[in-house]
């Protein structure tokens, strides 16, 4: 997944964040989604960004009530908007 374009990573991240927020309707989804979201974050962003993002994504999904935090979208913003000198 690292070879996706910048825009495609944003679209995929938005979809993943929506899946995570679906646990407000289907609470049982977090049992599967928490570790899967961490794995997908690590695959989507390499290096320390992916590892830290994966940990944050796992915690955000595993802790009840924290699903409003769009971890994939915020990681994309960090990589492509805040950390521009390394992402270009």
pLDDT at 30: 87
Does the pLDDT value for residue 88 go beyond 70? no
Does the pLDDT value for residue 81 go beyond 60? yes
Does the pLDDT value for residue 87 go beyond 80? no
What are the tens digits of pLDDT across the range 19-74?
999 888 888 888 999 999 999 999 999 999 999 999 999 999 998 888 888 999 99
Per domain, the residue ranges of the chain are: 6-87
Rounded Cα distance, 53 and 79, in Å? 11
pLDDT at 85: 61
3-state secondary structure 30-64: HHHHHHHHHHHHHHHCCHHHHHHHHHHHHHHHHCC
């Amino acid at each position: 997944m690292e070879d996706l374009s910048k825009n495609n990573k944003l679209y995929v991240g938005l979809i993943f964040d929506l899946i995570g927020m679906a646990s407000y309707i289907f609470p049982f989804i977090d049992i599967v989604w928490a570790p899967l979201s961490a794995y997908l974050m690590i695959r989507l962003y390499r290096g320390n960004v992916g590892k830290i993002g994966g940990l944050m994504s796992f915690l955000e999904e595993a802790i009840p009530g924290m699903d409003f935090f769009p971890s994939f979208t915020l990681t994309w913003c960090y990589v492509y908007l805040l950390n521009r000198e390394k992402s270009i």
